[in-house]
Amino acid sequence: MACTAGQVIRCKAAVAWEAGKPLVIEEVEVAPPQANEVRLKILYTSLCHTDVYFWEAKGQNPLFPRIYGHEAGGIVESVGEGVTDLKPGDHVLPVFTGECRDCAHCKSEESNMCDLLRINTDRGVMLNDGKSRFSINGKPIYHFVGTSTFSEYTVVHVGCVAKINPLAPLDKVCVLSCGISTGLGATLNVAKPSKGSTVAIFGLGAVGLAAAEGARIAGASRIIGVDLNSNRFEEAKKFGVTEFVNPKDHKKPVQEVIAEITNGGVDRSVECTGNVNAMISAFECVHDGWGVAVLVGVPHKDAVFKTHPMNLLNERTLKGTFFGNYKPRSDLPSVVEKYMTKELEVEKFITHSVPFSEINKAFEYMLKGEGLRCIIRMEE
């Protein structure tokens, strides 16, 4: 691959020209990496709900044309000036958030919210010079969350690249670069259920099922899945969920239902929907004295969380998490090792696979609510 180092690479990318319109496979030019940047050859990428949300332009200042994609696995093609811990040929996961290793957050053992590289959905350019590395006929195509993996080659800040075990199959572990690690870490790193404890998971999409998988790994005795879609319940059993509650089946608030069936409340709860009412229920369903609720889902910008202060004074704890409290460069390699030692099962999250030329099918599956993760194979 080194023969392309320092040169512009022409390759295929799936470009979003306008909101909600099918992506178009175009030939793009990808500039060489600048200081503290790496250029990656993407081998597998997957579609996450965040890509769809911003492609639909529901949540932000719309920015087009743009190359989406942020769950992926690839190989380093070349590195820019100042990059010392990566070299061409390394197997890596690009990540939508980063770890500069210099700021107060990176130096803290408690935080993974890097000042320099934390997620920025509005920025469509590289930090180094405020320009895009993608272009078509000299016109810039914008980046997305610093990764833009719906391209055969992409340029990423070195702090947003996790070097992983080269024996790990990239077509499987690529899904660990976003949603699965978010849910898994919310349980293992933040909720920290003890062996034999009871855990409630609100929302049984990919992130919620990853949170359930974390509870299964931790040895929880009861894992209660809460979802408005009863069709998700059978599938969730594969992820360790032992029983199910559909709030629509009950006249009383779901937190009261859960308290009744758990003798006062669960030990831990993890909320993965982003619905503020589910967040309140997830907090109020934990046991007084020791219960911990963890919020993962991203709420509507105008949402307000309301609960009676006595719920806190009675020794319940409310926590939030971002990317499962994993530091991308330091911690993701160990998550990949959990898969390699068969502690973490990843295959069951992958329900579809399409060639890059059919990337719009992946969007169709997600918009219909079919399956969990769709792998997009860059090399057909």
Q: With a cut of 90, say whether residue 28 has pLDDT above it.
A: yes
pLDDT of residue 245: 98
Average pLDDT, the chain: 96
Integer Cα distance of 21 and 16 in angstroms: 7
Integer Cα distance of 32 and 129 in angstroms: 13
143-196 confidence digits (pLDDT tens): 999 999 999 999 999 999 999 999 999 999 999 999 999 999 999 999 999 999
Q: Is the Cβ–Cβ distance between 296 and 182 less than 8 Å? A: yes
Name the β-bridge partners of 179. Answer: none
Task: Give the number of other CB atoms < 10 A from CB of residue 13.
Answer: 27
Q: Is the Cβ–Cβ distance between 245 and 225 less than 8 Å? A: yes
pLDDT of residue 62: 84
Q: pTM for the whole thing?
A: 0.96
Q: With a cut of 90, say whether residue 10 has pLDDT above it.
A: yes
128-137 confidence digits (pLDDT tens): 999 999 999 9
Integer Cα distance of 93 and 160 in angstroms: 8
Find, among 192, 176, 210, 179, the residue nearest to 339 by Cα: 176
Mean pLDDT of 334-355: 97
| pLDDT > 70 fraction of the chain, expressed in percent and rounded | 99
Catalytic residues: 48-50, 70-71, 100, 103, 106, 114, 118, 178, 373
CA distances from 189 to 67, 68, 90, 197, 199 (A): 32, 29, 27, 15, 14
266-276 confidence digits (pLDDT tens): 999 999 999 99
